[in-house]
Amino acid sequence: MTTDIHPQVQTIRQYFELILKNAMIFFYSFTMLLFSFCAKAQENSPFTVGFEKSSPSKILGEQRKVWIHVPNSNEGNENTGKVRYPVIYLLDGDANFNNIVSITEFMSNAGLCPPMIVVGILHPSRMTDLTFGTDKETLGITGRGEKFMRYVEKELMPYIESNYPTVSYKIFIGHSVGGLTVVNTLIHHPNLFSAYVSLDAALWWNDQQIVTEAKMILANTNYKGKTLFMALANRMEKGMDTLTVQKDTTEGTELIRSNLEFIKDVFKNKKNQLLFQYKYYENDDHSSVRLIGEYDALRFIFDYYKLKIYNSELENPGFKLDSLLITHYNNVSAQIGYLVKPGESQVNNLAYHMLKQKQFTKAEALFKLNITNYPETANCYDGLGDFYLATTDTLKAIANFKKTLSLKAIPETKQKLETLLKKNK
């Protein structure tokens, strides 16, 4: 960031900030209207986006609000439950919450990532929360970013972990000055999160302070087990590219230049073991880059998550699908840092497919794998009962249907059991 700014440039920046502020106010009002509808519908439908929580912060000395989404696989319920989830902490929650909830639900349903809790943080003053020090070119705005992050670490995270079914894996996502906060946290507090997502970050802030500080820290910090994804929008004049823009000195390209400078330093220090990727989106601007950047970020972070099964493996009677599942999810668990099991529905559907194909050895192994992983789930025993019913092992079918009904009253299972008992008299 240059220090000698012409008054006209200050006016342009002020005008830009005013436009951004008004756009955020409009989006906030619209989203609150949406949430008021969701809140009314929540008691009758599991398909709600989320709910709002408000609590006092001693650190910040004010009331703070967050929007929380619990995965639809947990019926969106606000409870602890048996299944536990990674957590995404999302800055500018009012602007980004719906995007992330939609992306995570889509990706988890497609088997691309685990279901995740989303915590969207609302900001009474985003420039105060998400900046650090005093920037000379933004009319002397003084940020309290370090104080805000103490609130996140010491108050918000403990609250979420005490009241919701969480695991240790946490992702931090921010756009613009939110991206500045994400990068600053990675550099100064790398152990707070497992993965960091910076979307067109305002790294120009305070004469590129964080870019300067990062040069030494990146070279001397071990980031093993940490992931960073950065998205860059096209903020350049016609005819420029990511190489030529680095020689530019105008105020309008400071954001992308500061990001490119930081990226060069990341690549210079590959020995620090930071898992890193960045993408430049030529056809997206500062606002539109958020959605595509968020999706690409989560695809990168969880690139190891999707299970691939080939048709040749499905068709081969000797191929052990249960072993493939066990090996894959052991690898996922090692990568993500907590135990991840194959989904009950995923294995159940695969087992029934094998049963329909009369590949009985594979079907039985899959039904039994489900029972091993989910011994208290009635549907697992019902599936194994159907397997024994199909293979005419009546006694074992009866035993599994009885076990199913001891866990949950399922009318269909009851009817199957009664029919078998009558025939077996």
Q: How are beta strands 85-90 and 117-121 bridged, if at all? A: parallel
What pLDDT, in 10s, does the model give residues 78-94? 555 578 999 999 999 99
Give residue 27's pLDDT band: very low, low, confident or very high (50, 70, 90): very low
Q: Is 54 exposed, middle or buried (0-12, 13-18, 19+ CB in 10 A)?
A: exposed
Q: What one-character-per-residue DSSP string does 126-154 give?
A: HHHHS-EEE-TTTTT-EEEHHHHHHHIII
Q: Taken in order 249, 254, 258, 261, is the CA torsion positive or negative?
A: negative
What pLDDT, in 10s, does the model give residues 210-255? 999 999 999 999 999 999 999 999 988 888 888 888 888 888 889 9
| DSSP 8-state class, residue 17 | H
Query: Average pLDDT of 41-57?
Result: 71
Give residue 43's pLDDT band: very low, low, confident or very high (50, 70, 90): very low
Residues in Cβ contact with 148 at an 8 Å cutoff, skipping those fewer than 6 apart:
60, 128, 129, 130, 181
Query: Average pLDDT of 118-139?
Result: 85
Quick one: CATH architecture of 7-301?
3-Layer(aba) Sandwich (3.40)
Quick one: CATH architecture of 311-423?
Alpha Horseshoe (1.25)
Chain position carrying tokens 């709600």: 48
Distance CA 386, CA 209 (A): 64
What pLDDT, in 10s, does the model give residues 352-365? 999 999 999 999 99
Residues in Cβ contact with 140 at an 8 Å cutoff, skipping those fewer than 6 apart:
134
What does pTM read for this prediction? 0.83
Residue 243: its H or E element: none
Q: What one-character-per-residue DSSP string does 79-103 give?
A: S--SS-EEEEEESSHHHHHHHHHHH
Q: pLDDT value at position 26?
A: 38
Q: pLDDT value at position 49?
A: 87
Q: Considering only CA atoms, which of 102, 114, 107, 38 is closest in space to residue 74?
A: 114
Q: Where are the CATH 3.40.50.1820 domain residues in the chain?
A: 7-301
Q: Is the pLDDT of residue 138 over 80?
A: no
Q: pLDDT value at position 81?
A: 59
Q: Where are the CATH 1.25.40.10 domain residues in the chain?
A: 311-423
Q: Considering only CA atoms, which of 115, 91, 85 is closest in space to residue 101?
A: 115
